[in-house]
Amino acid sequence: MSSLQKKVQTLVDIIKENCKLKNVDATRRKLEKIVKDGLENLQVVCELDKTLTREEKTPFMVEWWEKAHELLINQHINKNDIKDMVAETPVEMRPGLDVLIEKCKNNNIPFLIFSAGIANVIEQVLIAKNLNHPDNMHIVSNQMGFNPETGICDHFEEPLIHIFNKSEIMIKKSPYYATIKNRGNVILLGDSVGDIHMADGIQHETCLTIGFLNHEVEHFINIYLETFDIVVVDDGPMNIVNSIIDACSKDS
């Protein structure tokens, strides 16, 4: 058994022990490609929303997002308010996420965060947790716009980001795109079946999908297994993702 095969077999064993998967052979082939190509060909796409909805709700949910933004604008929020709100609100990160983000930073692996939330808040949370690394990290989320004279939020930047349009296509005009366009391997992390489309906007050679099923496991496990290569259940940690990145290192 070659060194590559040993690394992949170890990963498969870890996955079987700690996660759920339906097609072992297909997952093994993706792991072989990702590990063989190494860290320089890898990027990570991660989402931060926890929703499971059906597509026919799209028009109603878009309207809901727009009205929610209007309500926020009416609160006359300034940038300092965001920092204070984050400081007063405890946010518990998934175990192992800090390790994953640091590994990506140290190895210059592009780390893309998608969210239907608010980019300003997400960025402040990452800053508070010492996890904000602009050099290799990019956030696609709704951006608050502040009046240059008053410093008060009076609009949201276009386009509106909601749970149905999160796609890498939205980063093509950003400087971040140059860092990923030649990286053919993607590890995609999501907790909604709709997240499987986050990497649709750019052509990839390999996309290993990892789904996090946080609730009603018995009810949703089958659809998650049909959707994702690997499924982590019950708010499980990021250990499997960290193990994959470790295996991609030439020194491992």
CA–CA separation, 139 and 157 (whole Å): 14
CA 195 to chain centre: 9
Q: What is the pTM of this model?
A: 0.86
**CATH code for position 242:** 3.40.50.1000
Q: Provide the 3-class DSSP secondary structure of residue 53.
A: coil
The answer to whether residue 83 sits within a structural domain is: no
* Structural domain boundaries enclosing 214: 3-55+94-140+167-248
pLDDT tens for residues 170-195?
Answer: 677 777 888 888 899 999 998 888 88
The predicted structure's pLDDT at residue 93? 82
What is the pLDDT at residue 251? Answer: 75
pLDDT-derived band at 165 (thresholds 50, 70, 90) equals: low
Nearest by Cα to 206 from 13, 3, 29, 19: 29
Confidence of residue 250 (pLDDT cuts 50, 70, 90): confident
Based on the structure, what is the number of domains in the chain? 1
Strands 153-156 and 144-146: antiparallel
- pLDDT recorded at residue 197: 80
SS3 190: strand
Decide if 239 is inside a domain: yes
Distances (CA, A) of 162 to 64, 78, 98, 198, 232: 10, 23, 25, 12, 24
d(CA 122, CA 118): 6
Residue 212 lies in a domain: yes
Residue 71 placed within a domain = no
In a domain, 223, yes or no: yes
The answer as to whether 175 is a domain residue is yes
Look at strands 42-47 and 185-190 and give their pairing.
parallel
| 3-state DSSP assignment of residue 138 | strand
Q: Give a yes or no: residue 69 inside a domain.
A: no
pLDDT of 177 reads: 83
